[in-house]
Amino acid sequence: GVDATTAPLVANAGADVLVAGSAVFRGGSLERPEVYGQNIRAIREAAQGVYV
């Protein structure tokens, strides 16, 4: 599973497209949809923080 912890590892290994499922939806709900965006941002920032 790709999440904020594994995103840098796969990006450093050469991946340029990441697919995340449960990591995006973790903690979100109809009452808290902002969590989805926060999760996506965390994954994106973690992957972009890798410099090869």
pLDDT in tens, 1-52: 999 999 999 999 999 999 999 999 999 999 999 999 999 999 999 999 855 4
Within a domain: 33: yes
Number of domains in the chain: 1
Where b means 16+ CB within 10 Å and e means fewer, 4-36 reads bebbbeebeeeeeebebeebbeeeeeeeeeeee
Structure tokens at 5: 């912890």
Q: What pLDDT is recorded for position 50?
A: 58
CA distance 7 to 3: 6
Within a domain: 43: yes
Give the pTM.
Answer: 0.85
CB distance 48 to 8 below 8 Å: no
Q: What pLDDT is recorded for position 49?
A: 87
Within a domain: 1: no
Within a domain: 23: yes
Instruction: Note down the domain range covering 13.
Output: 6-48
